[in-house]
Amino acid sequence: MERKRVMVTGGAGFLGSHLCERLLEHGHEVLCVDNFYTGRKANIAHLMDNPQFEFMRHDVTFPLYIEVDEIYNLACPASPIHYQFDPVQTTKTSVHGAINILGLAKRIRAKVFQASTSEVYGDPDVHPQPESYRGNVNPIGPRACYDEGKRCAETLFFDYNRQHKLRIKVARIFNTYGPRMHPNDGRVVSNFIVQALKGQPITIYGKGDQTRSFCYVDDLIEGFLKLMGTPDSFTGPCNIGNPGEFTIKELAEKVIKLTNSRSKLVYKPLPQDDPMQRCPDITLAKKVLKWQPTINLEEGLKRTIDYFGKRLVDEWSAARPWKTEASRPRYAAQVNSSARARAASPKAKRKSRSR
């Protein structure tokens, strides 16, 4: 495969760090650009020694002058509590960020990928959502800074494509989860797993009958690479997500079962404009990208629970170095046993041999 110089904005975040890792595995040079608004150094610490990897601290709302072959634009807070914390900055990141990245791509004739979102469909009245559906977004509500920012970014991408013949790829990403999600970002999968592991109440907003479709991060990144590799005539938008649909209550019950937790469900008010249903129609991705998810919710949750369990144990040990082994939290035992089971599996042995 041809080695390329690839820039990933938002590369220190949850999805960006997995993307940087996968691009390096494919032999590319990676420039990760991030201002650490929601990303963390720890997400990319393991890549810093790689000579093909470079990090630049930069805010995409300001212009950037570099030379690369391809750009993935992921910079933007993604969880409702993060993007609603400073909504004006969220819109600026999506819109000014897109203008700067598209201007750069135009100057250097780079192919450019936009991480758009299922939020462009708002609270959908068509179900599941195909790319042709134009959405039902409240333009003045608390989610609008994100939804409308991403919609405007899509507009800019398609105008640069029509006006300047820029090569663009627009992915509409549905809820994705996995290792390196921020434990306090308020997203449902990370919230439920951390609450269950700590034995705290599981917070269900509303009645828990709203639905989401959850895609495991490895599947999603595979979809990104396939979309970027399509012929120039294919621009998207293309839905990338897992069509398996679950109510939030079903998700809570699965997490409790898989963590063997004693946590109880507690019901809190549903946030304003919270979409009642969401499920991707991935007919287009199947046809054009020859892609579909391969990791089901149960398997993906097990891997994510292992990650959070280990992280909580590490944080606990760092905070209480004077405590004895016997007083370690209950989830420590479970993490150790599932890690042992994984290590014994033939797939894990193959992976550790190849490292």
Per the CB < 8 A criterion, the answer to whether 3 and 28 are in contact is yes
Task: Supply angle C-alpha 211, 116, 235, rounded to 5.
Answer: 120
Region of 25-33, 158-166, 204-212, 287-295 interacting with ligand UDP (CB under 6 A): 204-212
Residue among 8, 47, 78, 301 that touches ligand NAD (CB under 6 A): 78
Q: Does 77 bind ligand NAD (CB under 6 A)?
A: yes
Q: Which is nearer to ligand NAD, 15 or 30 (CB)?
A: 15
What single string gives the DSSP state of each residue in 12-65?
TSHHHHHHHHHHHHTT-EEEEEE--SS--HHHHGGGTT-TTEEEEE--TTS---
Q: Answer yes or no: 146 catalytic.
A: yes
Give the end-to-end CA distance of the chain in Å, rounded to a whole number: 21
CB of 121 to ligand UDP, least distance (A): 11
Q: Which is nearer to ligand NAD, 55 or 316 (CB)?
A: 55
Per the CB < 8 A criterion, the answer to whether 240 and 177 are in contact is no
CA proximity to 29, closest of 66, 65, 64, 58: 66
Q: Does 122 bind ligand NAD (CB under 6 A)?
A: no
For the window 96-115, what string marks contact with ligand NAD as x by the rule CB under 6 A?
Answer: -x-----------------x
Residue among 21, 29, 59, 281 that touches ligand NAD (CB under 6 A): 59
Angstrom distance (rounded) from CA 306 to CA 302? 6
CB of 21 to ligand UDP, least distance (A): 23
- Cβ–Cβ contacts within 10 Å for residue 67, how many? 11
Q: Which is nearer to ligand NAD, 9 or 261 (CB)?
A: 9
Q: Which residue has the tokens 């949850």?
A: 14
Region of 6-14, 48-56, 180-188, 334-342 interacting with ligand UDP (CB under 6 A): 180-188
Angstrom distance (rounded) from CA 241 to CA 239? 6
Determine the size of the site formed for ligand UDP (CB under 6 A): 15
Q: Does 35 bind ligand NAD (CB under 6 A)?
A: yes
> Which partner, ligand NAD, ligand UDP, none, binds residue 75 by CB below 5 to 8 Å per kind?
ligand NAD
Angstrom distance (rounded) from CA 304 to CA 293? 16
Catalytic residue among 146, 160, 177, 331: 146
What single string gives the DSSP state of each residue in 222-257?
HHHHHHHTS-TT----EEES---EEEHHHHHHHHHH
> Which partner, ligand NAD, ligand UDP, none, binds residue 173 by CB below 5 to 8 Å per kind?
ligand NAD
Q: Does 30 bind ligand NAD (CB under 6 A)?
A: no
Cα 4 to Cα 1, 52, 66, 70, 104, distances in angstroms: 9, 11, 14, 7, 17
Q: Does 273 bind ligand UDP (CB under 6 A)?
A: no
Subset of 245-264 contacting ligand UDP (CB under 6 A): 248
Q: Does 212 bind ligand UDP (CB under 6 A)?
A: yes
Tokens of 205: 């907003």
Question: Can you list the alpha helix ranges (DSSP code H) found in the chain?
Answer: 14-25, 41-44, 80-85, 87-108, 144-164, 188-198, 217-228, 248-259, 283-284, 297-319, 330-344, 346-354
> Which partner, ligand UDP, ligand NAD, none, binds residue 178 by CB below 5 to 8 Å per kind?
none
Region of 13-21, 195-203, 266-274, 344-352 interacting with ligand NAD (CB under 6 A): 13-21
- Please give the positions annotated as active site: 146
Task: State the residues that interact with ligand NAD by CB under 6 A.
Answer: 9-10, 12-16, 34-39, 59-61, 74-78, 93, 97, 115, 117, 173, 175-176
Task: State the residues that interact with ligand UDP by CB under 6 A.
Answer: 79-80, 175, 186-188, 191, 203-205, 210, 212, 248, 271, 274
